Amino acid sequence: MLSTSGEHVPGAGGPVRVAVLGTGVIGQDLVSRIGRSPWLRCGLVAGRDPDSPGLRRAAERGCPTSADGIRAVLASEEPFAVVFDATSALSHAEHARLLAPLGTLLVDLTPSRLGRTVVPAVTGVTPPDSGSVSLISCGGQAAIPVVHALARRFDVRYVEVVSTVASVVAGRATRLNLDEYVATTAEAVTAFSGVSDAKAILNISPAVPPAVFRTAVHAVAPGADPDEVRAVAGETAERVRAFAPGYRVVACTASDGRVVVCVEVTAAGDVLPAYAGNLDIIDAAAVLVAERHAARVAAGAEVVSA
């Protein structure tokens, strides 16, 4: 259905009920985005610390909250169409196992390597009906559209992805999952480029003021033309900006078969500071996937009610 402004809005089924697991900055930003979405309704925010600022802020926004974590999701009398997992890779594996019988779509913002991989600018955002959707990592979301586009146009033989995030937005789960982040991102780079020789690096910057999120893609691509590389990078950035407006190319060079494309992502909204583009791009992708699922659920409800 379309609203009077031309915006797609839910049909007979109304907004779908969703839950957020995790009350860190990612979870808080997801709650804010859900509140602005005509497709989604926040049915629960669950963490493990009853004194968490994230739980308090979610309650202030009118969301039901619980400190019982995944147990609160499983105990809910009304099912959730989507559960966002903003915890850790290890926890996600258990969450996926427990939620599998319920037919819930689990949108994974951890580097667990479970479920169908989604990079909106490359794969589109249509999720499976249920199960887990992997968003890889923030660095993966920023780099893979570029890597994929370069590999389609040039003979790429090596890829290295180097992301830099501000220390103040690298939470406990991020630090605990550094090994998983590196492995998951490198594996996804290979999957989307076909280049087996791939490396991923994450730098956590203590700079003051905090460094804006930046990802540099280094590639060995013999014969790559500088003008073509710039065109590829520009086209890719336009596709990503469709859902992450703060994404832009800040450097692009090609010389002697060595290509460097550097992108920067700034965040917008009422939760994330501008330098937290790493969280902005993965949260934007997560909500996009959930909204597409909600549209499918709403369409099904219209058919049933017709």
Are the C-beta atoms of residues 122 and 188 closer than 8 Å to each other?
no
Q: What is the mean pLDDT of residues 195-211?
A: 97
Q: pLDDT by residue (tens digit) across 43-59?
A: 999 999 999 999 999 99
**β-strand partners of 65:** 45
Look at residue 171 in the predicted model and tell me its pLDDT: 82
Find where tokens 């290890």 sit. 90
Averaged confidence pLDDT in the chain: 93
Cα–Cα separations (whole angstroms), residue 223 to 66, 161, 219, 220: 56, 20, 12, 9
Per the DSSP assignment, residues forming a β-bridge with 204 are 165
pLDDT tens-digit profile of 112-170?
989 999 999 999 998 888 889 999 999 999 999 999 999 999 999 999 999 999 999 98
For the cut 70, the answer to whether the pLDDT of residue 6 exceeds it is: no
The pLDDT value given to residue 12:
53
User: Which one from 42, 63, 138, 252 is the annotated catalytic residue?
Assistant: 138
List pLDDT tens digits, range 8-26: 555 556 899 999 999 999 9
Among 61-65, 268-272, 300-304, the least confident range: 300-304
Closest of 249, 255, 254, 225 to residue 236, by C-alpha: 249
Model confidence pLDDT, tens digit, residues 234-290: 999 999 999 999 999 999 999 999 999 999 999 988 899 999 999 999 999 999 999
Asked if residue 37 lies in contact with residue 287, where contact means CB atoms within 8 angstroms, the answer is yes
Per-residue pLDDT band for 298 (boundaries 50, 70, 90) equals confident
134: phi then psi, degrees, rounded to nearest 5: -95, 130
Tell me what pLDDT residue 4 has: 26
Helix (H, G, I), strand (E, B) or coil at 107: strand
Give the rounded percent of residues in the chain with a pLDDT score beyond 90. Answer: 86
| Predicted model pTM | 0.93
Instruction: Report the pLDDT value the prediction gives residue 195, as an integer from 0 to 100.
Output: 98
What's the mean pLDDT in 203-209?
Answer: 96
Give the Cα separation of 251 and 229 in Å (integer): 11
pLDDT at 305 over 70: no
pLDDT at 13: 61
**Is 1 within 8 Å of 9 (Cβ atoms)?**
yes
State the helix-helix crossing angle for 25-36 and 277-305, rounded to 10 degrees.
40
Rounding to the nearest 10 degrees, give the CA dihedral for residues 16, 17, 23, 26. -10
Annotated catalytic residue 138:
yes
pLDDT exceeds cutoff 80 at 7: no
Q: Is the predicted pLDDT of residue 84 greater than 50, yes or no? A: yes
Q: What is the DSSP string of 50-94?
A: TT-HHHHHHHHTT--EESSTHHHHHH-SS--SEEEE-S-HHHHHH
Distance, CA of 173 to chain centre: 15
Vertex 223: Cα angle to 254 and 144 (nearest 5): 60
